[in-house]
Structure 1
Amino acid sequence: MRVEIWSDVVCPWCYIGKRRFEKAVVALREKGVTEPVEIVYRAYQLDPTAPAGASTPVVDAYAKKFGGRERAEQILAHVTKVAAADGIEFRMDIALRANTVLAHRALHFALETGGPSLQEALKERLLRAYFTEGLDVGDAATIGRCAADAGMDAATLLEWLDGDGGKAEVVADLRGAMEREISAVPTFVIDDMFMVPGAQDVDVFVNVIERVLARRG
């Protein structure tokens, strides 16, 4: 089974959805399902207008987007509470708005050089950097450090990012989202046939995968 997940590294529901889907896979294993599940992350920009090379506090960006600081803090407090219930620490008070094109290109490099497992490791590290550590995930040096933590050769990655590596792949992912009419993330596409939008509960993911497997016979 191949699962393509359109998501962004600055999307709170993408981090929550990632964790819930991982728990669903574990739950399926515990139920005796042995079908291999290959997960590939596809690029989506939640905030494409974020300036490259500059970062501002997320709370300020949310205040501008949602009509004031009070409303922004309510939204951020809500996702922080939901994340905590899924075992994820959000520090939205220190999170920095970032353009994520470089991060998505790096994720493609990880996929090309180390397969889905390395891509997942980098994805997890970038999410933690953004949501928990308050790091600028639009910064090449930060991405390089995250890559090293994920077991990658940071110098090789940064040299690759200095060129055009991954640009076409990111554009293709964004086009793929448009073709599938994906307008919000996370969106999970199973075997290029079944689409599951949003950070669903673990049981929902389990049920969907079981139905997909049952239809295969």
Structure 2
Amino acid sequence: MRIDIWSDVVCPWCSIGKRRLERALADFPHRDQVEVVYHSFLLDPTAPTGSTGPTETAQQMLARKYGLTAEQAAEKQAMVTSLAAEEGMEWRRPHESPHVGTVDAHRLLHLALAAGGPAQQAALKNALLLAYFDEARNVADHAVLREVAVGVGLDAARVDEVLAGEEYAADVTADIAQARAYGANGVPFFVVDQKYGVSGAQPAAFFSELLERAWAEAQPVLETVPGAPDAEACGPDGCAI
């Protein structure tokens, strides 16, 4: 079974939804046969990138965008941070996380998938989320991205090559187009076995039920129905004719 996840590395609900899915997978008896692949989504394509640097924190952006006071924005962020803590994620400095663009981070996630498969991509995804929410690092800065990517085992020369150009930019664009085609206007967005689309950071129990349902439909159990009791058949020792 395959699970495709559209998300952004600066999206708190993406991180929480990811952790809830992981909790469901931990209890899923067929978890070793489940492949998880991450896809790109840009929460704010206009956010400043590494070349320009951040101009405000994510909390300040939240206040500006939704017309909140600084205190109201802080309260909303504290609420999400508390929910993350319930999932075992201690975000120490989310109020300092910068409001930045993530296209280069997503290009590296595509590199990780191509170079090391879903396992290495997942490792980079985890490292980027940690860098942003726990360490308040600028995940648009190429020096930060290089350090994080090389830290999970990506080849430094390839990382530099990708960051220096536009490699995998088309893949990022294609991911976003696919999300729109699915009707996803926000993230996280999960697609299970190309059959079920789920939006939002759903509870772990919901994911558990969905995994069981998708698995049962992908691996149907043969039902033996009774027939005439005297119907002839050949057995392991041959046919008694």
Q: What's the TM-score once normalised by structure 1's chain length?
A: 0.95
Q: Which entry has the higher C-alpha Rg, 1 or 2?
A: 2
- Equivalent position SS for 2:10: coil
Alignment of 1:82-93 (within 5 A): 82-90=83-91, 91-93=93-95
Partner of 1:197: 199
Partner of 1:9: 9
Partner of 1:43: 40
Partner of 1:61: 61
What one-letter code is carried by the residue in structure 1 that aligns with 2:77? L
Q: How far has the Cα of 1:34 moved from its partner?
A: 5.5
Cα displacement string for residues 12-66 of structure 1 (whole angstroms, at most 9, x for unaligned residues): 011111111111111113xxx3661111000001122202232121111111012
| Cα distance in 2 between the residues matched to 1:18 and 1:144 | 23
Q: How far has the Cα of 1:155 moved from its partner?
A: 3.1
Q: How many residues in Structure 1 have an aligned counterpart in Structure 2?
A: 214
Cα displacement string for residues 172-217 of structure 1 (whole angstroms, at most 9, x for unaligned residues): 0010011111011101101111111111111110000111112221
Partner of 2:18: 18
Contact 1:83 1:89 in 2 (8 A): yes
- Equivalent position SS for 2:49: coil
- Equivalent position SS for 2:96: coil
What one-letter code is carried by the residue in structure 2 that aligns with 1:25? L
| Cα distance in 1 between the residues matched to 2:83 and 2:17 | 11
- Equivalent position SS for 1:200: coil
Partner of 2:235: none
Flag as ranges the 4+ runs of structure 1 deviating above 2 A: none
Contact 1:20 1:86 in 2 (8 A): yes
Contact 1:5 1:40 in 2 (8 A): yes
Specify which structure has the higher proportion of helix.
Answer: 1
Q: What's the TM-score once normalised by structure 2's chain length?
A: 0.86
Alignment of 1:172-191 (within 5 A): 172-191=174-193
Partner of 1:148: 150
Partner of 2:160: 158
Instruction: Provide closer, same or farther for how the CA distance between residues 124 and 101 of structure 1 changes in structure 2, counting only shifts above 3 A.
Output: same
